[in-house]
Amino acid sequence: MDCIFCKIANRELGTELVYESDDVVAFPDIHPQAPVHILIIPKKHLANIGEIGPGDEGLLDQIGAAVKELAAKYQLDDGYRLVTNCGPAGGQTVPHLHFHLLGGRELSWPPG
> Segment contacting ligand AMP (CB under 6 A): 26-34, 57-65, 66-74, 104-112?
26-34
8 Å CB contact between 24 and 62: yes
Burial class (CB within 10 angstroms; exposed 0-12, middle 13-18, buried 19+) of 84: middle
If one asks whether residue 94 binds ligand AMP (CB under 6 A), the answer comes out as: yes
If one asks whether residue 22 binds ligand AMP (CB under 6 A), the answer comes out as: no
Residue type, 7: K
Which residues, 34 to 93, sit near ligand AMP by CB under 6 A? 39, 85, 91-93
- Say how far apart CA 82 and CA 86 lie, in whole Å: 13
* Nearer residue to Zn ion within complex by CB, 21 or 48: 48
Continuous segment of H or E residues that includes residue 80:
strand 80-83
If one asks whether residue 21 binds ligand AMP (CB under 6 A), the answer comes out as: no
> Segment contacting ligand AMP (CB under 6 A): 24-32, 51-59, 72-80, 104-112?
24-32
